[in-house]
Amino acid sequence: MLRIAVQKSGRLSDDSLALIRECGISFISSSLKLKTESTNFPLEILFLRDDDIPGYVADGVADIGIVGQNVLVEEGKQDLSVEELGFSKCRLSLAVPKSAEYNSVKDLEGKNIATSYPNLLQTYLQEQGVTAHIHTISGSVEIAPSIGLADAICDIVSSGSTLISNGLKEVERVFKSQAVLIANQNLSEEKKAILEKLLFRIHAVQRAQRAKYILLNAPNEKVDEIISLLPGAKSPSVLPLAQEGWSSIHSVVNEDDFWEMIERLRDAGAQGILVVPIEKMIL
């Protein structure tokens, strides 16, 4: 049995549980329960505050966990990280009042900066050769300048709308973050084997999320040109259509290159292009 710690309620919770479910692991979750056990995989899920997850995994109370890199690195536990999960992307940024004059990070010399991430901020300021007074506060960091508590803040940003609505402007990006899977470093052989199985499934889910299955029709004389436009397709399938002189081409493409490629395919004579999501992808 492997124990995973996930955030009980917050920005990481839904995506963490969705990932576990996409791995084909079933469980019943209730907001009242502190833990639950999967009915079809040797996994027990503990629901915790995100800040407690790195410590519990380091101590072996949980074997693995899902947490933001911002929390992990702030707590100095980055060695536990095993896999970037690609969700809950955000950044830790410095922000100052909109009206403040700001040219470079040197302008923060000697200033008061409020943050919930003193260690990440201190590391950044040191790298930049700036000395400032760091005030550690645990919440509502964005109101610190307007109540006269600080000249600047260092806080998590995703859309940027919280900064704007508090009259602040983002001036430096201190740290980029996303959710990561972490693991205790002394897992038993049995637990390691379960983790391997889980990672195999996570990789299949991640690959599938980035990939699309594409089907299209093309006149036979255009097939070679179209195949050359399909990036990453080592060997697309080419099947004859009932209509004489036409083929159907099937391949897997990466979502990132997708729209541009569709235009080039159409220009090259592709017709009836279908793009379908892939549920799992095993290499």
Closest to ligand PRT by CB, 49 or 280: 49
Residues 239-244: contacts with CB within 8 Å, 24+ apart? 241/217
| One of 16, 177, 217, 247 touching ligand PRT (CB under 6 A) | 177
**Window 149 to 168, contacts with ligand PRT (CB under 6 A):** 155-162
User: Do 29 and 17 contact (CB within 8 A), yes or no?
Assistant: yes
Contacts for 53 with CB less than 8 Å, ≥ 6 apart: 5, 6, 7, 62, 65, 66, 67, 71, 182
Least distance from ligand PRT to the Cβ atom of residue 122, Å: 18
Residue of 71, 168, 214, 223 interacting with ligand PRT (CB under 6 A): 71
Q: Which helix (H) or strand (E) holds 259?
A: helix 258-267
Give the tokens for residue 135.
């005030």
- Is position 51 an interface residue for Zn ion (rule: CB under 5 A)? yes
Q: How many Cα atoms are found within 13 Å in the side-chain-facing hemisphere of 189?
A: 0
Applying CB under 5 A, which part among 47-55, 109-117, 161-169, 219-227 lies near Zn ion? Answer: 47-55
Q: Is 155 in the site for Zn ion (CB under 5 A)?
A: no
DSSP per-residue string spanning 114-157: EES-HHHHHHHHHHHT---EEEE-SS-GGGTTTTTS-SEEEEEE
- What does 247 bind: ligand PRT, Zn ion, none (CB cut-off 5 to 8 Å by kind)? none
Among 16, 20, 46, 88, binds ligand PRT (CB under 6 A): 88
99 binds, among ligand PRT, Zn ion, none (CB under 5 to 8 A by kind): none
> Which amino acid appears at position 88 of this protein?
S
State whether residue 225 is helix, strand or coil: helix
Is residue 10 a contact residue for ligand PRT (CB under 6 A)? yes
Member of 6, 16, 64, 68 binding ligand PRT (CB under 6 A): 68
Q: Which of 5, 17, 38, 50 binds Zn ion (CB under 5 A)?
A: 50
Name which of 48 and 249 has its Cβ closer to ligand PRT: 48
Query: 88 or 217: whose CB is closer to ligand PRT?
Result: 88
State the binding string over 251-280 for ligand PRT (x if CB under 6 A, else -).
Answer: ------------------------------
By CB under 6 A, residue 92 contacts ligand PRT: no
**Whole-number Å distance between alpha carbons of 217 and 266:** 10
What is the C-alpha separation between 180 and 18, in angstroms, rounded? Answer: 14
3-class SS at 220? helix
Closest to Zn ion by CB, 51 or 75: 51
Residues of the shown chain interacting with ligand PRT in the complex, contacts defined by CB under 6 A: 7, 10-12, 49-51, 68, 70-71, 88, 90, 155-162, 177
